[in-house]
């Protein structure tokens, strides 16, 4: 079997799709060896994170392959961003279903090329297989931080301010818009869901000032809660202070129950902002929106619509 839509064999695929993405990095050995080799970098720690996506679970069947690839890099970049690590490289495992022809695979690789270049990433290795199931792709991403300086979830202290780096709720609204359940005239919300912007720009500010940080992938309340749990502290947070995009503000203005709507925005995932804590003296320098503070007594005290509300179990756990 052959033809323009027919993929070459595994080694041909690696050579044509993936070798250019290694961009000549010596560690990748041109993707010709059994493994990559990473020399120690004196004075730095290697920060490692992993995220996988499955067709039909993390993106709808029929999503453009470029976008699947770019979002896969971006969700991993968001984890590095929250840890104040400088993005460096990644490993990629991909399982192609029969329906993924050569043009689709090339489109996937071109998405990796676009964002790999934009974010300074080198492809260091990976694995390529076929599957009778849905398309599955997984990235292990590596970044560098000065030794001992990774910003953890566990560093929040009573009296610290709680801050968030940007609009909350666009991920959840964007998913609904992408599913056609929500009016999105200019496509802004669906765009935020399909191609988030990881906050790699915050790296130096987080290194200099943050006591703890997490990226907002599970939802603001859940991810702030993860910081509280890891730090053995509590949080007071006012959801009315969380920044909103114009589109989210317009949606909120149409909701009869403001508190419930605010809670909804803060419980949805996929925002890929950073939630962090910092001593009061550092909060201003971070330049982020203060939404609350860290308390000695454990638990979450949440205000929305001007009233104390019960955030419910959805605020704490994976769905």
Binding footprint of ligand ADP on the chain (CB under 6 A): 14, 18, 31, 33-34, 92, 94, 123, 125-128
Q: CB nearest ligand ADP: which residue?
A: 126
In angstroms, give the least distance from the CB of 110 to ligand ADP.
Answer: 14
In angstroms, give the least distance from the CB of 9 to Mg ion.
Answer: 15
CA distance 97 to 99: 5
CA distance 247 to 92: 35
Closest CA to 313 of 218, 176, 175: 218
CA distance 80 to 194: 19
> DSSP 3-state assignment of 309?
strand
Q: Which region, judged by CB under 5 A, interacts with Mg ion, from 33-41, 197-205, 217-225, 282-290? A: 33-41
Q: Which of 4, 24, 34, 313 binds Mg ion (CB under 5 A)?
A: 34
Q: What angle do CA 28, 30, 33 make, to 5 degrees?
A: 75
The tokens 């869901």 sit on which residue? 193
Closest CB to ligand ADP among residues 126, 311: 126
Closest CB to Mg ion among residues 32, 118: 32
Phi/psi class of residue 303: alpha, beta or left (left: φ > 0; alpha: ψ in -120 to 50)? beta
Question: Is 253 near Mg ion (CB under 5 A)?
Answer: no
Per the CB < 8 A criterion, the answer to whether 182 and 173 are in contact is yes
In angstroms, give the least distance from the CB of 136 to ligand ADP.
Answer: 12
CA distance 296 to 85: 29
Q: Which two tokens stand for residue 86?
A: 């400088």
Residue 126's binding partner, choosing from Mg ion, ligand ADP, none, with beta-carbon cut-off 5 to 8 A by kind? Answer: ligand ADP
In angstroms, give the least distance from the CB of 56 to Mg ion.
Answer: 31
CB neighbours of residue 248 within 10 Å: 23
Q: CB nearest Mg ion: which residue?
A: 34
Closest CB to Mg ion among residues 34, 253: 34
Give the sign of the dihedral formed by CA 223, CA 228, CA 234, CA 237. negative
In angstroms, give the least distance from the CB of 55 to ligand ADP.
Answer: 16
Give the sign of the dihedral formed by CA 177, CA 181, CA 186, CA 187. positive
Per the CB < 8 A criterion, the answer to whether 156 and 213 are in contact is no
In angstroms, give the least distance from the CB of 140 to Mg ion.
Answer: 17
Residue 92's binding partner, choosing from Mg ion, ligand ADP, none, with beta-carbon cut-off 5 to 8 A by kind? Answer: ligand ADP
Closest CA to 215 of 169, 152, 273, 270: 273
Q: Which region, judged by CB under 5 A, interacts with Mg ion, from 28-36, 137-145, 234-242, 309-317? A: 28-36
Residue 123's binding partner, choosing from Mg ion, ligand ADP, none, with beta-carbon cut-off 5 to 8 A by kind? Answer: ligand ADP
Closest CB to ligand ADP among residues 87, 125: 125
Closest CB to ligand ADP among residues 31, 121: 31
In angstroms, give the least distance from the CB of 34 to Mg ion.
Answer: 4
Closest CB to ligand ADP among residues 140, 211: 140
Per the CB < 8 A criterion, the answer to whether 85 and 149 are in contact is no
List interacting residues with Mg ion (CB under 5 A): 34
């Amino acid at each position: 079997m052959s033809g323009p839509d027919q993929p070459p064999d595994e080694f041909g695929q690696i050579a044509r799709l993936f070798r250019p993405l290694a961009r000549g990095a010596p560690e990748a050995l041109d993707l010709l060896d059994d493994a990559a080799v990473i020399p120690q970098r004196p004075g730095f720690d290697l920060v490692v994170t992993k995220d996988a996506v499955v067709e039909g679970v993390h993106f709808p069947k029929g999503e453009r392959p470029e976008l699947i690839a770019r979002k896969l890099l971006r969700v991993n970049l968001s984890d590095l961003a929250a840890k104040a690590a400088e993005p460096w490289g990644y490993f990629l495992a991909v399982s192609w279903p029969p329906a993924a022809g050569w043009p689709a695979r090339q489109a996937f690789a071109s998405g990796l090329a676009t964002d790999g270049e934009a974010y300074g990433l080198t492809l260091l290795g990976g694995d390529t297989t076929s599957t009778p199931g849905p398309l599955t792709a997984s990235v292990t991403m590596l970044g560098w931080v000065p030794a001992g300086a990774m910003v953890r979830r566990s560093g929040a202290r009573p009296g610290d301010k709680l801050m968030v780096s940007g609009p909350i709720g666009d991920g959840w609204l964007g998913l609904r818009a992408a599913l056609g359940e929500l009016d999105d005239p200019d496509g802004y919300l669906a765009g935020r869901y399909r191609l988030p912007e990881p906050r790699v720009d915050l790296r130096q500010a987080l290194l200099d000032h943050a006591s703890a940080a997490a990226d907002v992938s599970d939802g603001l309340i859940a991810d702030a809660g993860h910081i509280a749990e890891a730090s053995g502290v509590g949080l007071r947070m006012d959801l009315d202070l969380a920044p909103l995009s114009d589109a989210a503000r317009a949606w909120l203005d149409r909701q009869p129950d403001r508190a419930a709507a605010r809670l909804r925005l803060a419980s949805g995932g996929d925002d890929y902002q950073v939630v962090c804590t910092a001593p009061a003296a550092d909060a201003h320098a971070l330049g982020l929106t203060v939404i609350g503070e860290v308390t000695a007594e454990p638990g979450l005290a949440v205000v929305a619509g001007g009233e104390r509300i019960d955030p419910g179990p959805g605020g704490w756990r994976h769905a």
